[in-house]
Amino acid sequence: MSVDATDQRIKAEDLLLAAKNFEGFKKNSKLDPAAIAFLTQIADDATVDDVGNLSFDELAHLAHGFWCWSAKKRPNTQDIRLYDAKSADGRALGRDILEICGPDSSFLVDSIMGEIGAQGIEVRAMFHPLIEVTRGEDGQRGEDGLLIKESMIQVHLPDLPPSKREAILTGVRETLDDVRLAVSDFRATKARMVECIKDLSVAKTKSSNDEIMEAVSFLKWIEADHFVFLGARTYEYSRNPDGSIANDEPNILEENNLGILRNEALSVLRRANEPTLLSDKLLAFLQEASPIVIAKSNLRSRIHRRSIMDYIGIKRYDENGLVYGEDRFVGLFTAEAYDRMVRDVPLLRRKVEHVVAQTGFAAGSHNDKRFRNIVENYPRDELFQIDEDELLRIALGVQHLMDRPRTRIFVRRDRFDRFLSILVFVPRDKYNTDIRAKIGNVLATSYGGRLSAFYPMFGDAPLARVHYIIGLNPNDHLEPNVEELEHQIAELTRTWDDGLEVLGEENKIDVTSFLGNFPAGYKDVFAPAEALKDLVELAKIGADGVNVRAYRNDGDADFTLRCKLYKAHDPVALSEAMPIFESMGLYVESETQYRIKCGDKIYWVHDVEMRTNDSNPLDSSAVDASFESAFAAIWAGMAENDGFNRLILKLGISWREASLIRAWARWRGQTGLDPSQPVQEQALADYQNPL
């Protein structure tokens, strides 16, 4: 397959040449101009990686099938099919093909690709020709009829099982339905927003004039292409005799439903259908002075990008300034809305200035600049939703954190109790994907909720920030102690070296020079507490000496004994140590050595696992000290290395007592009273009670 060397794209002329073998592309014995445009755009979209092992003939064959299938279609609809791709001779091509054909529309490609991605399916290739065709009333492509601009989308997928194919078809159809509803009502939804702006501008309310004007400015700002409007709905609320809003079922004005909210089964603020009674949280909002509310809805967008839709509620006021209803809009803030400076965004600028004023920082001071930077880089969705008091609390907490970086969490509860927004700060050098996942699991479990989303951010600061969204069942979830939860998360982020450092401080042992110098294999086996014991032993080592420490692990058999040997410069020669263990009646099961560097010094730690030769149990409380002192004495040449040393562990005696028995036995041997030394050694080991 020939390609353009500059960008690895296939050459259109090669695809057009292959297409001449297919009659469906032809018109009056020549390639149809519309088909040429169709094929050329496929070639423009295709790279060698996209096409894979497909030949030009096979690619042309798949394009021909798409072209012929779309020759006749239903008017004003998106037709869709999914099939197992085969070559012209019926050979399987090892991929499934999803095809959509219909009127061109906004959000088609990103919405379809979002649905496929949400189902966890890898896209191998995607071609999206836009062509102008004429279709008759029967939907047949030809020369007579209306000129229509159509999107033809062909997506190459892996081979899929039948159940997955059905799921893809269902998901894409539902996505296309959402796109159709949102796009067809887009102008009407924006017009509704313009009406709300006009009504709010002249409404009698309890809010100050400044607050109303700022709210109006914000609504004008989002209407000016800073918000993708996907749906709208209008509610009216009943009132009690005293004028307060009744806790009754809100009345949905069906004729005002627009976009995806034409479907009344969709709930904006609840996980189930809209509540039959107003919740306390919603009643509280309606009674507040603020004319608008910004929050996250309960709806995940299938359109444009896969994220939770934003909800903007605008109160409706009667001639007496009483709230009688609400206009709800759902959609997505645009990328520009997230990129603009806070000072350029109505509502946010007022909120931030109020919060900055409460800090008491001198304008232009270091603290003032740092605080403003924290707010500027605050998650934009959070800035839209958070109230001033919480923003002040959290932003000041973050500022203090910059002075002493450590693990901290800041929790904000959704005003309708549907989710928690949690900012977690972790020292950057301790952050990784595994830590992020563990923290998310701890948060979800602690609140009895679910991890809905997470957004990591890495700036210049020494801290990584992860914004977690924990979904809740309103009024039915756990309430952990935040300080205890923070401590639990801090423990997750605490490294092995952190643990050693803390233990060193608690025990007044300087471990600084060893931090970061223990090998990974050692850390995998031993906890920091065990390492601290090893450091104590390393500190005792002489120039050429060997230190030993006996120990046991929980769960060890009673005939097991472990020890560690410590030496500077070079490792211990096991050929010299093994005979000492064997003389004490021990069999070495395994030995692992670890090299530990400390500045210009090298230390070796040998971990030895042993068992008694006869599998008889050991009294660890009695033998550990005897074993350690005996090994040291034998290694130093202060005691002989022979079978009498078995008595040290069997009887729990010291090496000096073993030496005394050795001398006594030799004296008896010299007098002719007893047999040879090996026989004496074995007899004393077998018959301990007489001693």
423-444 tens-digit pLDDT: 999 998 889 999 999 999 999 9
pLDDT of 52 reads 81
Q: Among all chains, which residue has been given the structure tokens 């909800």?
A: 311
Across the range 71-83, mean pLDDT stands at 92
Nearest to 440 by CA among 461, 455, 428, 430: 455
pLDDT of 648 reads 80
Over pLDDT 70: what percentage of the chain?
92
> Residue 208, by phi and psi: left (phi above 0), alpha (psi -120 to 50) or beta?
beta
Q: Yes or no: say if 455 and 377 are a contact pair by the CB < 8 Å rule.
A: no
Across the range 60-74, mean pLDDT stands at 93
pLDDT of 289 reads 78
Across the range 350-367, mean pLDDT stands at 95
- Phi, psi at residue 311, to the nearest 5°? -120, 130
The Cβ of residue 374 has, within 10 Å, a number of other Cβ atoms equal to: 18
Looking at 149-153, 568-572, 640-644, 666-670, which range is the least confident one?
666-670
pLDDT of 689 reads 53
Across the range 382-402, mean pLDDT stands at 95
pLDDT of 273 reads 41
Q: State if pTM tops 0.95.
A: no
pLDDT of 690 reads 47
311 or 272: whose pLDDT is higher? 311
Given a cut of 70, whether residue 199 has pLDDT beyond it is yes
Across the range 551-555, mean pLDDT stands at 89
Separation CA 45–CA 55 (nearest Å): 16
Nearest to 121 by CA among 172, 175, 184: 172
Query: 667 in helix, strand or coil?
Result: helix
pLDDT of 274 reads 42
Q: Yes or no: say if 611 and 560 are a contact pair by the CB < 8 Å rule.
A: yes
Given a cut of 90, whether residue 549 has pLDDT beyond it is yes
Q: pLDDT tens digits for 495-547?
A: 898 899 989 999 999 888 898 899 999 999 999 999 999 999 998 887 668 99
Amino acid sitting at position 260 = I
pLDDT of 1 reads 52
Confidence of residue 676 (pLDDT cuts 50, 70, 90): low
Nearest to 302 by CA among 263, 337, 256: 263
What mean pLDDT is reported for the chain?
89
Confidence of residue 190 (pLDDT cuts 50, 70, 90): very high
Burial (CB count within 10 angstroms: exposed 0-12, middle 13-18, buried 19+), residue 315: buried
pLDDT of 272 reads 46
Q: Yes or no: say if 470 and 449 are a contact pair by the CB < 8 Å rule.
A: yes
Q: Yes or no: say if 517 and 596 are a contact pair by the CB < 8 Å rule.
A: yes
Across the range 667-676, mean pLDDT stands at 65
Confidence of residue 372 (pLDDT cuts 50, 70, 90): very high
Give all strands (DSSP E) within 428-539, no chain letters.
450-458, 463-471
Q: Which helix (H) or strand (E) holds 229?
A: strand 227-236
591 or 668: whose pLDDT is higher? 591
- Encoding tokens for residue 99? 């095809």
Measured at the CA of 245, the angle between CA 241 and CA 250, to 5 degrees, comes to 120
Residues 6+ apart with CB under 8 A from 681: 642, 643, 644, 646, 665
Across the range 459-479, mean pLDDT stands at 90
DSSP state of 307: S
pLDDT of 682 reads 64
Across the range 668-672, mean pLDDT stands at 66
pLDDT of 163 reads 92
pLDDT of 680 reads 60
554 or 221: whose pLDDT is higher? 221
454 or 239: whose pLDDT is higher? 454
Q: pLDDT tens digits for 256-301?
A: 999 999 988 787 776 544 444 456 666 777 777 789 999 998 889 9
Q: Yes or no: say if 356 and 371 are a contact pair by the CB < 8 Å rule.
A: yes
Query: Can you say whether the dihedral through the CA atoms of 509, 512, 516, 517 is positive or negative?
Result: negative
Confidence of residue 654 (pLDDT cuts 50, 70, 90): confident
Across the range 336-365, mean pLDDT stands at 95
Across the range 221-236, mean pLDDT stands at 95
Across the range 145-156, mean pLDDT stands at 93
pLDDT of 92 reads 93
